[in-house]
Structure 1
Amino acid sequence: MRSRWFALALLLTAAVQVSSAQTRRHKNLLIFLTDQQRIDTMKAYGNSKIHTPNLDALAGRSFVFDSFYVAQPVCTPSRGTLLAGLYPHTHGSWENNIPLDRKIPILNQMVKDPEYVSGFFGKWHLGDELSGQGRFTEFDTTELYGLTSSGSTPTGYHRFLVERGVKPDTPAGHSRDLANRLPKELSKPAYLAKVGAEFLERHRTEPFILYLSFLEPHAFADHDWGPPFKNVNDDLYRPEELDVPATFFEEMDPTVSYQKRMWRVSLQRGEFPIAYPQTVSEFKQAKARYWGLVTLVDEMVGRVLTRLRELGLDDNTIVVFTSDHGEMMGDHRLMSKSVTYEESIKVPLLIRLPGATQTVRVTRPATQVDIVPTLLELLDQPRPAHLQGASWAPHLRGRQSWSNRDVVVESNFRGYAPADRAWMEKHVYYQRTIITHALWKLTLSDVGEGELYDLNSDPTERRNLFVDSRHQAKIAELRERLRHWQKATADSVDLGNLNTQWPEEPRRAK
C-alpha cells in the first residue's frame, strides 16, 4: 500500500512539474504606463531629489533608454502607437478622443497563442471606455472620457469607492479632483495596484499580458479654477526647495514655431482651460505636487512587483515601464505637452528581461513605434507584416549592435489655447520632427516653419539654427530623410511647400 501511495505521489509531482514547465515556456508581459511623465523623474535619469525607490530598483535590473521618443506627444495618438505598433497618421487616432479603429489589432491580439490571457486596467483613452472595445480578457477603466452618467455599468473604480462610502460628485462619477483628495488607499494608483495584484493571483498558472495604466502624474492639474489639484503626497516635497528651469526666465526665440509662441502667450495671460501656474511660486507648487504623484505611482508599482515576486512569476515576466508623453513643467515657460521640445516628446523607458541583474544603458535615440515588434519577438511570437517599427530584441539579447536609425515624431494638432484658437480651430497644424543618432533635430511644419537644433551643443534647445545660412546643407539633408520616411510610411503631409503650383481653375465650394 505504501509503495502504491508513493508511486501516486511521484506521478502527481511529475504532473505538476510538467504543468509548471509548460507554463514557464511562455513568457509573461507586465507593462506599467503612466500619463504625462517627463524623463527626469527618477534617479536613473539623473534626478537625485525625487523619491522613487521602486523604479530605481527596477532600473537596476533593466535596459534604461536615455533617449526614448513617443510617436506624438498627446495621449490618444501615443497610446495608439504603443499598443498597435503604427504611427498616428496610420492608425488614425491622430488627436485626442478619436477611437482606435476596431479593425486595427493591438499587441495582445497579435499574440496568436490561445493560452495567453490579457488584462488592461486604468486609463484607456482609445474609445469605448467602459469595455476597451472588447479587446482584452479583462478590462476596467478609471476614467470618464465621453461619459455623461455612470449608467448601469459604472467603472470598477466607481464601484470600489461607492462600496467604501465615497459618493460621486458628478453625474458621470467621481471627478479627478475628488479622487486626488482621497486617502492613499482610495487613490487611483492604489486601486490599480490592488486590481493588478488580483489579476496576477487569478492567472498565476497562465501566460498573461497585463497593462496597468496610471492617470498620474497628469492629474496634478486638469481644471479651470484655482491652483493645481491637491493630492495625498501634497506635502512630500517643499516647493521652495525645487528648482526653476533657466529657460523659464529667458525670452523665447522669436523664430520658433507659432504654436510654441502662442502657447507661451496664453499661459502668461492665464488663458489656458486648465489650472497651470503663471508665477514662480505657483510653478514650484505645481512641480512639488507633480513629483508627489510620481512618488505615489512608484509606491504602487512596487506593490505589484512585490506580488509578482511572491507568486514566483518574477523570473518569467518581461516588465516594461514607460509613459505616453512628457510634460514641459516650466521649461521655456511652457506647461503641458504637444510641443516638440525634448521635455514633451521624450519619456522614461525601462525594459527588464527575465533573469536580468544589472542596468544596461541604451544611449541611441529610440522610437515608440518599435515597442510592439520588440515585445512580440521577446514573447517568441511572429511579427505581423503591417507593423511599421523594427524589433530591438536582437540588440537586447546581445546578438546585434544597435543601429543608427532616425527617430520621427509626429504632431497633428488642433489647438485650444485662446491666443491661437481662431486660426487653429479651423486648421490642423502638422509638424514632423526627425532626430538622428548624431543628435541633430529638425522640425518642419505644414505652414513653412522650421527648427533645427544640435542637441550635442544645445540640449535645452535655446538656439534655432534653421535661419542660420551655415546650416542649410544639414537642413536639406534632414529634409530629404524626412521625405524618405514619409514615403515609406505613406505620410501625405506637405511639409511647408509654400510655393506649390496654383490651380488653373478656381476651387469651387462643395
Structure 2
Amino acid sequence: MKRPNILFIMADQMAAPILPLHDAASPIQMPNLMRLAADAVVFDAAYCNSPLCAPSRFTLVSGQLPSKIGAYDNAADFPADVPTYAHYLRRLGYRTALSGKMHFCGPDQLHGYEERLTSDIYPADYGWAVNWDEPDVRASWYHNMSSVLQAGPCVRTNQLDFDEEVVFKAQQYLYDHVRSAGEQPFCLTVSMTHPHDPYTIPAEFWDLYRDEDIPLPSQHIDQAEQDPHSQRLMKVIDLWDKPLPAQKIKDARRAYFGACSYIDSNIGKLLKTLEACNLSDNTIIVFSGDHGDMLGERGLWYKMHWFEMAARVPLLVHAPKQFAARRVSQNVSTMDLLPTLVELAGGTLQDDLPLDGRSLLAHLEGRQGHDEVIGEYMAEGSISPLMMIRQGDWKFIYSQQDPLLLFNLRHDPQERENLAESAEHQGLLADFINQAQARWDMPAIHQATLASQRRRRFVASALTHGALNSWDHQPMVDASQQYMRNHIDLDDLERRARFPQL
C-alpha cells in the first residue's frame, strides 16, 4: 500500500479558546479551517508542553519533554542527536521538508528535514538566554508592550515578508513534487509566524472586522492580585504599573483576529494547491500551533504561563478516508504528534529510544485514548521550574517557589477560582503533589537549567568578538538549474515544467 503524504501546517501563537474551531460565538473568520474541520478529527483540549516558541517546538518535533532535551528557553541548544519525526519519516522513505519557522537554536538547523525551503525568522544563536542569576534584571530583548501600543493596519511587515515566502515556497514544493512524477511520499511542514505579534495586518484582513465587533478581554485581574508568576511576567513585558488604553487593547485584538484570517487564507492556498496537483486524496493534513496568546485576558499578554489562552492550541487531523469526523474531548498535547505521525506513515517506534509523547491513533479511531498532558516551563518570567499536569477536568500548576494552583476547568473554564487552598480539595491536591514529586526532581532540573543558562551566556558573549560565523539557515538556490539555460534542452524543460503533462 502506498504511504500517505503528510502536510503539517503550523500557526504561531494562535490561542485555541477564541477560535471558531472551539467557540461557536467567535467573531474570527476562518472559513477554510472550518471546512477542513468539518471532515476532520478535532481535538478540543490540545495543549503545548511549554508555552514558549522554541521549547514548545523542540518538544513537538521530538516527542520529549523540555527537561529531557535541554529545551529551557528561546536560546536553548537543540542537540543534533535527538530523534525527531523528520528522522523517523526519512527512515520510512519520506522526503521531509520544512518551509518556515521552527526556531532551532544551535549549529544543526535541519534536525532530520532533508530540505529547509526558507531561513528562520528568529535567530539561531544563544543571544536570548534567560538569566536566573539576575532574576530582577529585565533583559533588553524581552517582549515589551510596543506590539499593543502600535497595533493597527499596515501595508507590510517583517512577519508578512516571511509568511509570503513560506507559503510560496511550500506551493512550489508541491508543484515540483507532482512534476517529478516520483513515487516517494513527502512530509511537508509549513510553519507560519502569524498571528504572533506585532499586532498589525493589512487592511484586507483588518477590514474584515468592525471595531464594535471586537470584544475586550472577559476578565481583568489587578496586578496586586495576580499570582507571583503572572506578576513577574507583567514586569518582563514592561506592563507593571503601565495600564493600557482600552482602544489599543481592542486594536491589538482586532489585528490578531485579522492575522488569524490571514493564516486561514494561506491554508486555503495550500488546500487549493493540493487539489490542483491531485494530491488531496492521499495527503493527511495536520493543523496545529506552538502555543497561544493571552491577548489581555487576566491583564496578561503573549504567552509564558499555563492559563488556557496561552497553553491551549488548535489541533486537527484531516484524513476522511481513514478517520470519521469527530470531536475529541480528552487532554492531549503536541508532544503526541511524533508517535502519531510515525504510525500514520505505517511505521513503528523504536523501543530503545526515549519518548514521552503518546500516539493519538486511538483518539483518531474513536477508541479510548489517554487523557493527560504534562508541561514544563523554565523560561522568561520564571525563577525556577514551573510545571503543569492536566488530567480530566483538572489543571495543576506546580512550583517549589510559587503557590500551587489548582483549577477545575469543567466548572471554571476561565480559571478564576484556585482550589489549592480549598479544604474539600486537599485530598486531590495531595495526589497531584505526589504525582509531581514522583515525576520531577525539581532541584536537579533547576540546577541543569541554571548551568545551561550560564554556559550559553558565556558562549554567546564570546561569539560577539571577532568574525561572525552565523548558524542561521542559508537556503541555497542553484540558478544554473532554474528556468531556461543553454545546457538544458528547451523542449524537454517545458515538458517537465508543465503540469499536467501532455
Q: Give the TM-score, by structure 2 length.
A: 0.76
Specify whether residues 257 and 430 from structure 1 end up closer, same or farther in structure 2 by C-alpha distance, changes over 3 A only: farther
Q: Counterpart in 2 of 1:434?
A: 389
Specify whether residues 361 and 262 from structure 1 end up closer, same or farther in structure 2 by C-alpha distance, changes over 3 A only: same
Residue-by-residue CA offset, 1:127-180 (whole Å, 9 max, x unaligned): 2589535742343225141589xxxxxxxxxxxxxxxxxxxxxxxxxxxx9x96
Q: Counterpart in 2 of 1:262?
A: 232
Matched, 1:410 2:381: no
Residue-by-residue CA offset, 1:332-390 (whole Å, 9 max, x unaligned): 01100001111111010011125268631001111222111011011111102321121
* CA deviation after TM superposition for structure 1 residue 79, in Å: 0.3
1:49-448 mapped onto 2 (5 Å cutoff): 49-113=27-91, 115-127=93-105, 131-132=109-110, 135-146=113-124, 181-182=155-156, 187-204=161-178, 205=182, 206-219=184-197, 221=198, 228-232=199-203, 233-248=205-220, 250-251=221-222, 254=225, 257-264=227-234, 269=239, 278-355=244-321, 359-385=325-351, 386-398=354-366, 400-403=367-370, 405-415=371-381, 428-437=383-392, 439-448=393-402
Distance in structure 2 (CA, Å) of the matches to 1:406 and 1:383: 20
Specify whether residues 229 and 138 from structure 1 end up closer, same or farther in structure 2 by C-alpha distance, changes over 3 A only: closer
Distance in structure 1 (CA, Å) of the matches to 2:68 and 2:378: 12
Matched, 1:455 2:409: yes
Please say which of residues 322-331 and 45-54 is displaced more in the overlay. Answer: 45-54
* Equivalent residue letter for 2:119: T
Specify whether residues 101 and 185 from structure 1 end up closer, same or farther in structure 2 by C-alpha distance, changes over 3 A only: closer
Query: Retained in 2: the 8 A contact 1:34–1:322?
Result: yes
Query: Retained in 1: the 8 A contact 2:16–2:312?
Result: yes
Q: Counterpart in 2 of 1:505?
A: none
Query: Retained in 1: the 8 A contact 2:339–2:357?
Result: yes
Residue ranges of structure 1 left out of the alignment (5+ in a row): 1-23, 149-176, 222-227, 416-423, 496-510
Query: Retained in 1: the 8 A contact 2:17–2:308?
Result: no
Specify whether residues 311 and 343 from structure 1 end up closer, same or farther in structure 2 by C-alpha distance, changes over 3 A only: same
* Equivalent residue letter for 1:43: P
Question: The residue matched to 1:93 in structure 2 has which SS?
Answer: coil
Specify whether residues 281 and 346 from structure 1 end up closer, same or farther in structure 2 by C-alpha distance, changes over 3 A only: same
Distance in structure 1 (CA, Å) of the matches to 2:430 and 2:445: 18
Distance in structure 2 (CA, Å) of the matches to 1:99 and 1:302: 34
* Equivalent residue letter for 2:369: W
Distance in structure 2 (CA, Å) of the matches to 1:270 and 1:282: 17
* Equivalent residue letter for 2:195: P
* Equivalent residue letter for 1:182: R
Query: Retained in 2: the 8 A contact 1:185–1:191?
Result: no
Query: Retained in 2: the 8 A contact 1:270–1:278?
Result: no
Distance in structure 2 (CA, Å) of the matches to 1:110 and 1:491: 33
Question: The residue matched to 2:302 in structure 1 has which SS?
Answer: coil
Q: 1:480 aligns with which of 434, 447, 454?
A: 434
Specify whether residues 269 and 117 from structure 1 end up closer, same or farther in structure 2 by C-alpha distance, changes over 3 A only: closer
Residue-by-residue CA offset, 1:31-57 (whole Å, 9 max, x unaligned): 111110000343221144211111011
Please say which of residues 346-355 and 295-304 is displaced more in the overlay. Answer: 346-355
* CA deviation after TM superposition for structure 1 residue 401, in Å: 1.9
Query: Retained in 2: the 8 A contact 1:34–1:213?
Result: yes
Query: Retained in 2: the 8 A contact 1:41–1:291?
Result: no
Query: Retained in 1: the 8 A contact 2:15–2:313?
Result: yes
Specify whether residues 186 and 285 from structure 1 end up closer, same or farther in structure 2 by C-alpha distance, changes over 3 A only: closer
Residue-by-residue CA offset, 1:480-507 (whole Å, 9 max, x unaligned): 22234337xx994479xxxxxxxxxxxx
Question: The residue matched to 1:351 in structure 2 has which SS?
Answer: strand
Distance in structure 1 (CA, Å) of the matches to 2:251 and 2:9: 27
Specify whether residues 395 and 266 from structure 1 end up closer, same or farther in structure 2 by C-alpha distance, changes over 3 A only: closer
Query: Retained in 2: the 8 A contact 1:69–1:407?
Result: yes
Distance in structure 1 (CA, Å) of the matches to 2:116 and 2:289: 22
Query: Retained in 2: the 8 A contact 1:189–1:297?
Result: no
* Equivalent residue letter for 2:68: T
Distance in structure 2 (CA, Å) of the matches to 1:407 and 1:456: 16
Query: Retained in 1: the 8 A contact 2:104–2:124?
Result: no
Identity of aligned residues (%): 26
Residue ranges of structure 2 left out of the alignment (5+ in a row): 127-150, 448-502
Query: Retained in 1: the 8 A contact 2:65–2:356?
Result: yes
Question: The residue matched to 1:111 in structure 2 has which SS?
Answer: helix
* CA deviation after TM superposition for structure 1 residue 433, in Å: 1.1
Specify whether residues 96 and 39 from structure 1 end up closer, same or farther in structure 2 by C-alpha distance, changes over 3 A only: same
Distance in structure 2 (CA, Å) of the matches to 1:118 and 1:494: 35
Structure having the higher Rg: 1
Tell me which of the two structures has the higher relative contact order, counting C-alpha pairs closer than 8 angstroms and 6 or more residues apart: 2
* CA deviation after TM superposition for structure 1 residue 397, in Å: 2.7
* CA deviation after TM superposition for structure 1 residue 80, in Å: 0.4
Residue-by-residue CA offset, 1:96-149 (whole Å, 9 max, x unaligned): 12131111121111125463211101112112589535742343225141589x
Distance in structure 1 (CA, Å) of the matches to 2:410 and 2:112: 45
Question: The residue matched to 2:428 in structure 1 has which SS?
Answer: helix
Query: Retained in 1: the 8 A contact 2:50–2:66?
Result: yes
Specify whether residues 190 and 358 from structure 1 end up closer, same or farther in structure 2 by C-alpha distance, changes over 3 A only: farther
Residue-by-residue CA offset, 1:428-454 (whole Å, 9 max, x unaligned): 4211111111x1111111214211111
Distance in structure 1 (CA, Å) of the matches to 2:158 and 2:445: 46
Query: Aligned Cα RMSD in Å?
Result: 3.1
Query: Retained in 1: the 8 A contact 2:3–2:185?
Result: yes
Distance in structure 1 (CA, Å) of the matches to 2:340 and 2:362: 9
Distance in structure 2 (CA, Å) of the matches to 1:130 and 1:484: 34
Distance in structure 2 (CA, Å) of the matches to 1:185 and 1:480: 44
Specify whether residues 95 and 312 from structure 1 end up closer, same or farther in structure 2 by C-alpha distance, changes over 3 A only: same
Matched, 1:45 2:16: no
